[in-house]
Amino acid sequence: MLKLSLDACARQQLGAARTSSAGRAAHTVVGGHGNTMRQTVIALTGGRELGEHENPGEATLVVLHGRVRLVSDSDAWDGRRGDLLVVPDARHRLEAVEDAVVLLTVAKTDRRGGDPKSGDQK
């Protein structure tokens, strides 16, 4: 069993982001590349962003600290501490409106339309 403090992890990653030249820091707290589900704490200093990228599967963001904006095409969703944002199944980017930390949860899916557990194609 794993127990951790998301508040402590958020403070640690925000401190790392503030000293990073990129203005961001991240730490995977559950799962990893070999797993279907992955949870990562991501910190961004105000004005920084995670550039536009594809959604690797079903994904959500929980805002742990600060304010963010999730942008996809002409749509945008604002989030603040305690908000849950469902990541669109399209190219998107994440902007830090102010110093912010989010918990990203991703359940990877087989983008070819098959069952990710069985490898079967639809």
Q: Which of 31-35, 56-60, 85-89, 115-119 has the lowest mean pLDDT?
A: 115-119
Confidence of residue 105 (pLDDT cuts 50, 70, 90): very high
pLDDT of 118 higher than 90 = no
The pTM of this model reads 0.85
Confidence of residue 93 (pLDDT cuts 50, 70, 90): very high
Between residues 33 and 5, the one the model is more confident about: 5
CA distance 102 to 39: 10
DSSP string, 40-82: EEEEE-TT-EEEEE---EEEEEEEEESEEEEEETTEEEEEETT
pLDDT of 27 = 95
pLDDT of 47 higher than 50 = yes
Residue 11, Cβ neighbours under 10 Å: how many? Answer: 15
pLDDT above 70 covers a percentage of the chain that reads 89
